[in-house]
Amino acid sequence: MNPILVERVQLDFDAAVTAWVLKLQGAKFNIIAQTLGTNPMRIGEVFRGDKFPDARAEAVRRLSH
């Protein structure tokens, strides 16, 4: 069994940007949630724009540099 290294109850803006970076790079939804140590519902909130709606634009900006 893999150890859980990080557990987050909620995400901050930087974690939301990281989630988008991972998604834009082709990572699977469940892998993103596991990597960030959070519940998949928190990732869904970010991808729907319910939380941190500017995170996607920031991820695109960071990837384009």
Q: pLDDT tens digits, residue range 27-44? A: 999 999 999 999 999 999
Burial class (CB in 10 A: 0-12, 13-18, 19+), 4: exposed
Q: Which of 7-11, 46-50, 51-55 has the lowest mean pLDDT?
A: 7-11
- Tell me the domain boundaries of the chain: 13-63
Q: What is the pLDDT of residue 10?
A: 83
Q: Closest Cα to residue 57, out of 13, 27, 1, 8?
A: 13
Q: What pLDDT is stored for residue 58 in this prediction?
A: 98
Can you tell me the distance from the alpha carbon of 12 to that of 15, in angstroms, rounded to the nearest whole number? 5
Mean confidence (pLDDT) of the chain: 92
